Chains A and B, each alone.
Chain A
Amino acid sequence: MQNTRYLIIGGSAAGIACAQTIKDNIPKADVTILSDEPDKPYFRPLIPYILTGKKTVSDISMLGSGPYTHRDLKVLTGCMASKVDTVNKIVFANTQEYPYDKLLIASGSRANIPKELEGQLCKGVFALRKLNDAREMIEILPSTKHVVMLGGGLVNLKTAFALVEIGIKVTLVVQSLEILSQIMEPQDAYLLKDAIVKSGINIITGKKAVGVIKKNNSALAVALDDQQEIPCEIVCIGKGVKPNVEFLDGSGIKVDGGVVVDRFTACNIPDIYSAGDVAVTYNPITGQKVLTGLWTNAVEMGKCAGLNMIGCPTAYAGTFGVMNATQIGGIPFVSMGTVHTKDGDFEVYTHKGRDSYRKVVFSKDGTRLIGIILISDISKAGIYRYLIREGRDITSIKDLIINHKINYASVMK
């Protein structure tokens, strides 16, 4: 067993969690990680903290931090996989050949660039995804007065707050009717929107960017679909992510949006597994296939793949498409499970307070909790996650859930 060569494509959440799991179980295992980034693995969600200078690059390093106790993992940086030969079991990267016995595809995802902006990339236009993007942005921040951010999702909002913190004016252009449309409905977001407006961030909703106006290959302004032009030095694109699957063309590995895996994180070809943003997983409530860009999901799935790769069959429990916790403008919130209820048949309870909000979503027959949004008071949110995931009959504790009085003793059988 100790001679098995484990090869991992991708050096972020899923890849490192997988490598750690293999090493935890087989300390002498031969594990190699190919990472296309020049930096050693780092906690990607902390990039906004690099912008403000609150954290340094070494602060956000993964190896040796938290559960990642194996400091000496073999990570080959700057090593981008270009082809997988599944017959001879070889991965090609930078003209080198890397043979494997067990392979994990955790190549992750990259920023999604909308079609209308595809040909418009120039100096000052960013999709803040990697450490190098942050470094480039930091370089031009001193000469930046105004940043226009396209997209009202979490990544952009966190970056927007980071920029405001260091004294830069920010305008957020959101195509949907409201911010955070991927993780809540417009009427759920009022407290967060108030906090954003109060912080000085300017929000434009219902408008789309159609182009970047340039001078000497530097961004000068963003053109919106209503003829408006907003002058700015930096444009930040936060329009979601798309999986890195192109290098798998012709390999025979089944791709449908992302890499298709079974319940045991295995691909259609033996000895190949996949996890993280690049892998298609499923939603345990709806049974639907989902691609998520969630750190926590990538880690869970990577650990699971690691166990399967060492011959310890472990089923992956799936993930909700929505599973976010964070704090925006001083307001903590959690959104998970099925929270878009406009077009479905659900039993929904909302509580609108001056300082707090919650929305509780039950199945049509009212016996199962399927989603929840908690804004401001998010205490014991993990218990709801457990109830949603297990699909438990909650009839006896329904009042406690609706009134947010749940605790662990009350869910014990």
Chain B
Amino acid sequence: MKNPKEIFVNVKKCTGCKTCEIACAVEHSKAKNLYSAISELPTVKPRLSVEWHLSGKSIPVLCRQCDDAPCMHACITGAIRRDSRGVVVTDTDKCIGCWTCVMVCPFGVIGRHLQTHKAYRCDRCPDRDTPACVQACPTGALVFAQSDEYSRDKRLAFVSEIAEATKEKA
């Protein structure tokens, strides 16, 4: 698929509230409801995490769906492929839990489920138009957009900032 929508992170807007993590876990539960999800087995896991930069800034980190995905090529069972949406997915039937993908992912975003003995990761919520984390983010720090439209918006925002600043000076 050409130019698929991707999840972008606007670091400036993230407050580190972790609402995205909760929404992700609930979306990947059987019940799709927070109260039942908590006690579900196998334990429900979020597929992204809010991490902290040395400066103290919070940053949501999730699978970047790398063009040349190291996990996909390193997998020794052929369990990882790119689907028709352009999303890198793990076939849990094929996964043997050897963790080679965990060893090669430079973002550290592939989780190991210790009960199922399978690797798990962001699947871009195949049943939803907008991924659960993006929809849940209260500050708009997560954005689901095509890369060209996202960069156009960024450019426009930057240009209008400059325009505003020049106006004030004048």
Report A's interface with B, CB cutoff 8 A. Answer: 17, 43, 45-46, 49, 59-60, 62, 65-69, 295-296, 299-300, 303, 323-327, 332, 334, 336, 378-383, 385-386, 396-397, 406-410, 412
For residue A412, which residues in chain B have a CB less than 8 angstroms away from its CB? 53, 59
Give A152 to B33 CA distance when docked, in angstroms: 48
B78 to chain A, nearest CB (A): 3
What 3 pairs between A and B have smallest CB-CB spacing? A65-B78, A380-B108, A66-B78
Determine if B20 is an interface residue (Cβ-Cβ < 8 Å). no
Q: Which residues of B contact A326 (CB under 8 A)?
A: 98-100
Chain B 29-69 near chain A by CB (<8 Å), digits 1 or 0: 00000000000000000000101111001110100000001
The answer to whether B53 touches A378 (Cβ under 8 A) is no
Q: B147 to chain A: which residues have CB within 8 Å? A: none
Q: How far is the CA of A390 from the CA of B122 in the complex (A)?
A: 26
A407: contacting residue among B61, B70, B78, B112, CB under 8 A = B61
Report yes or no: B109 in contact with A299, Cβ–Cβ below 8 A.
no
- Do the beta carbons of A382 and B103 come within 8 Å of each other? yes
**CB pair B51 A408 closer than 8 Å:** yes
Contacts of A332 in B (CB 8 A): 97, 99, 112
Q: What are the residues of chain A within 8 A of B100 when measuring CB–CB?
A: 296, 325-326
Whole-angstrom distance between the Cβ of B2 and the nearest chain A Cβ = 15
Task: Chain A residues near B111: list those with CB within 8 A.
Answer: 379
- CB of B103 within 8 A of CB of A378, answer yes
Complex: chain A residue closest to B111, CB-CB: A379
CB distance from A158 to the nearest CB of B (A): 9
Task: Please pick, from A43, A303, A336, A383, the residue contacting B108 in the complex, using a CB distance under 8 A.
Answer: A383
Are B97 and A327 in contact (CB-based, < 8 A)?
A: yes
Given A385-B104, A409-B61, are A299 and B74 also a contact pair (CB < 8 Å)? Answer: yes
Whole-angstrom distance between the alpha carbons of A350 and B104 in the complex?
Answer: 22
Which residues of chain B in 62-113 are interfacial with respect to chain A, using CB atoms and an 8 Å cutoff? Answer: 69-70, 72-82, 94, 96-100, 102-112
Among the listed A60, A67, A325, A410, which residue makes an inter-chain contact with B102, where contact means beta carbons less than 8 Å apart?
A325
Q: Which residue of B lies closest to A64 (CB)?
A: B78
* Given A66-B79, A327-B99: A382 in contact with B106 (beta carbons within 8 A): yes
* B53→A409 contact, CB < 8 A: yes
Q: Is the CB of B72 within 8 A of A67?
A: yes
In the bound assembly, the distance between CA atoms of A82 and B51 in angstroms comes to 55
